Chains A and B, each alone.
Chain A
């Protein structure tokens, strides 16, 4: 923590950053929230520990529009998120100073977050400065997806329908997702109206399936959609199912390499699809 504050002070002093995105502990409530730190401001309230769950990458596009240099505190998973944004040219790397912090895992609701179980990056894959240590990379586990895959289609539908029924369509999942950045979301289009705006099973199902599919090969599994959902819909399960498919077909885990294009936008002769001469059925 000391090392991080020292580094940030140094960056401010050198004029390397205008603002730094980080986590602040509210002295009154003790809650940890995302915060934009300006020079000489509240740095003593800055924290980094297992309560710093939120992915801050989502705030970058607004901030780089207002400031020329933005520093950001990154956990490993947030770093993967940032990598997906860089490779999609949503953010210009020159405007970012990435402060990777060795992450020991985060807690959601007092328990270890599910996403930490198979975290491949304790340190962000994109860094300008690294603080703390890297840990051993973990291999992907898709145990929960495999459980669902064992169900019959009818059981699977029942499982998900119960959740979809509850969706309120507040779009917190979309709003917190760094990769959901369409100028006009498919759910908001009026003509043609792809997805009805009312919160009912059929329309909610459409929304959740389209949301998940649009993230195939792009989702870095930061798990924020699931965490912010007021109805506790297991959105990571859908994301992970697609992540698993992409991993099996292309051997790619999104966000691991800020240079590697998302597999679904690349046309390659090595693709397993039969159209490219591959053997996938």
Chain B
């Protein structure tokens, strides 16, 4: 088993600059009080956030707008697939919930019938250098979803912030290559294991959620939702996209663009019929997709407990709370069923 290595905080820039010689290094930056990921530049002030940030890593593997083919009038509009990027890169500063999100995306884009070649190349060229959280933010509830804030599962390299230094550990063969750095010194001690609180937003089982499909509660749960798309864009496991052509002056691109089931246009079909016209039906779709459909398809629920949906919601509505409220309703229903032996009329 490999050991934990120490990196002095003052050596961070040199360490990253050395890595940047071979890899494209992506790190978090703070711009106007907001976090974003960018390619490492020595003259730019950067820092690693203690815990989850409002932007998910999704954009680095499955970009918001992604050209998949190009065509030109001169070549009679014949389609040329976009070549995959294979420059090796390091994405640094992901948290366990981000990694869980990427693992879920793998199931959708790689381990399913139709492989997404562009996504595959992004995954292949990337070494995941994950950061173990040192605190849980207000909306964090990964411990309710079977994760721990300091779990290194799925990372190539894991690191943690301790006092005035960082502790690094190579987890995979790819990760160990990064560990070959003169700035890292092997030490015996590992970051302190903590006990994390759980039980904030406990939820029912996928099967129980499925039983709620026809319940009237959806109107109540969606009554103030705007049905804008921001929660789905921030969510690390929302992977819906649409394909569209963008043509301008004799040149064209076929692109995939993030789509959102919360928007009315998402389920509008040719001929104009809309299968999810009411906000209630759209909120139901997203909720069940997170807690039930994902489980049916990929064997795991797709909420990683990162809490970004709450962070970005214009109305500060709590999606996890919604799931918990629904679960409460499921329990109540069961109780009354057991008590009376019959389903109440209202339901």
Contacts and interface: CB of A to CB of B under 8 A. Distances in A.
Interface residues of A, number: 31
B202 interface: no
Contacts of B316: 31, 33
A188 B264 contact: yes
Most buried by B among A36, A168, A175: A175
Contacts of B226: 58, 172, 175-176, 228
Interface string A140-175: 000000000000000000000000000011111011
15 contacts: A33-B317, A36-B223, A66-B219, A168-B233, A170-B233, A172-B230, A175-B228, A176-B228, A184-B268, A185-B265, A188-B263, A197-B259, A199-B64, A228-B226, A229-B314
Interface string B311-345: 01011110000000000000000000000000000
A196 interface: yes
Interface in B42-75: 64-65
A194 B264 CA distance: 17
B228 A170 contact: yes
Given A197-B257, A199-B64, A170 B264 contact: no
A193 interface: yes
Interface string B201-227: 000000000000000000100011011
Nearest to A191: B270
A62 B260 contact: no
A214 interface: no
B261 interface: no
B242 A172 contact: no
Nearest to A187: B265
B96 interface: no
Contact of B244 (A62, A171, A184, A197): A197
Given A175-B227, A188-B265, A230 B244 contact: no
A31 B316 CA distance: 9
B171 interface: no
B274 to A, nearest CB: 9
B246 interface: yes
B246 A196 contact: yes
A200 interface: yes
Contacts of B279: 62
Contact of B315 (A54, A62, A169): A54
A222 to B, nearest CB: 14
A176 B64 CA distance: 23
Interface of B: 64-65, 219, 223-224, 226-230, 233, 242, 244, 246, 255, 257-260, 263-265, 268, 272, 279, 312, 314-317
Given A31-B316, A34-B224, A188-B264, A196 B230 contact: no
B269 to A, nearest CB: 11
A95 interface: no
Contacts of A35: 224
Interface string A83-111: 00000000000000000000000000000
Interface string A60-80: 001000100000000000000
A12 interface: no
A226 to B, nearest CB: 11
Contacts of B260: 170
Nearest to A170: B230
Contacts of B315: 33-34, 54, 228
Contacts of A66: 219
A230 B264 CA distance: 19
Interface string A176-195: 10000000110010000100
B65 A199 contact: yes
Contact of B223 (A59, A171, A175, A197): A59
Nearest to A189: B265
